[in-house]
Amino acid sequence: AEKSKQHGNTNFYVNKSGFPMDVETWELMWSFACYVHPLGVQLREDIQGRECPEVPIPKPPINLPSSMAVTTKLEMVQKYLESLQYNYTGMQFFCIKKDKPLCYLMEYAKDMIRASLPVKCLEAVVLAMYCTSQYANLDRFPVSFKSQFENRVYRHVVLGIHHMNMYGALGLSRKPDLMYKPLVYQNLSDLLLDFVSSYNKCGHRLMKIKIGNSVPHNLLTCQSIQWGIISLNCEKMDAEKLKKQLEKSSRIIKKR
C-alpha cells in the first residue's frame, strides 16, 4: 500500500540528476522497478547478486557511404536503436526537453551514443534524428500518439520518414508493431492507418495523433522542432472519417 501511494499511476520517471545518478534517483529507479515487476524486491536481489558479462557497445551507423541505398541506411539505423534495447527500468535515463533547440537535442544524442544505455521512445527518436541528419534527401518528421489502456494514458512518438514518394518510420516501443515501419507506404495516411491498426491489435484506445513539421538537417541550428502542427482527435471520428482526415493531413504535410 505504501508503494502504491508513492508511485500511483506513474508510467515512468525521468532522471534529472545526470550521470552518475544521485542516490535518490538510483533508489527511485529500483523502487519503481520492484513495484511494477511481479518478483518485487526479489528482482533487485537477483539482479544485483549476478556476475554479468561486459555489455558490448554498439556502433552508430553514421558516415555511411553515399553509394549505399537509403533503405539500407534506415535499416541500419533501426538495428542500432534496437541494439540499445528498450528501457524497461521505469527510469528514462536522459531528460529530453522537446521545446529546446535541435542543437541542444543533438548534444543529448551524442551523450546517449557514448552511454549506450537502453532508451525509451523519445530518446530513440532523438537518436534517429541524429543518425539520419546526413541524408539530405530524406524528409523526417515526428509523429506522436496518445492512447489509453485499462484506465491508464500512454504517450508514444516515432520519427516519420519520407523519401522518393514513400513513407516509413523509425523508433522503439514495447510493442514491435508500434515502432519501425519500412519505407514501403505510398502516402502518409497509409503509414498512419497502419499504426492505428497496430494500436487496435494491442487493445489500446487511440485518442490523438499529432504530426510535426520537417526536422532540419543542420545539427547546429537553434531552431526548435515543431512536434505537433497537426492534431487529430481520434475519439471524435469513426474509421472512415479518420481515414479522410489522415489523407487531408497527408496532403497538407506534403505541401510544406
Whether residue 20 has a cis bond before it, omega within 30° of 0:
yes
Task: Work out how many domains the chain is built from and give that number.
Answer: 1
> What span, in angstroms and rounded, lies between the C-alpha atoms of 153 and 145?
10
Q: Which of 133, 144, 147, 173 is catalytic?
A: 173
pLDDT of residue 3: 39
pTM equals: 0.91
Instruction: Kindly tell me the number of DSSP H helices and DSSP E strands found in the chain.
Output: 8, 8
pLDDT of residue 2: 36
> What span, in angstroms and rounded, lies between the C-alpha atoms of 234 and 207?
5
Cα-Cα-Cα-Cα dihedral sign, residues 13, 202, 1, 44 = negative
Q: What is the mean pLDDT of each run of 10 residues along the chain (256 residues)?
A: 57 91 93 87 86 89 93 98 95 95 97 96 98 94 96 95 96 97 94 94 95 95 94 87 82 67
- Among candidates 166, 144, 141, 145, which has minimal Cα distance to 256? 141
pLDDT of residue 56: 86
Mean of pLDDT over the chain: 91
The answer as to whether 1 is a domain residue is: no
Q: Which of 121, 131, 249, 250 is catalytic?
A: 121
Q: Which of 133, 147, 156, 189 is catalytic?
A: 156
pLDDT of residue 256: 62
pLDDT of residue 184: 97
Residues of the domain holding 101? 67-255
pLDDT of residue 84: 97
Rounded to 5 degrees, φ, ψ at 219 are -70, -15
The answer as to whether 113 is a domain residue is: yes
Q: Is 144 a catalytic residue?
A: no
Q: Residue 152: CB partners within 8 Å, gap ≥ 6?
A: 9, 11
Q: Is 133 a catalytic residue?
A: no
The answer as to whether 5 is a domain residue is: no
Q: Is 121 a catalytic residue?
A: yes
> What span, in angstroms and rounded, lies between the C-alpha atoms of 118 and 110?
14
pLDDT of residue 14: 94
Helix (H) or strand (E) holding 190: helix 188-201
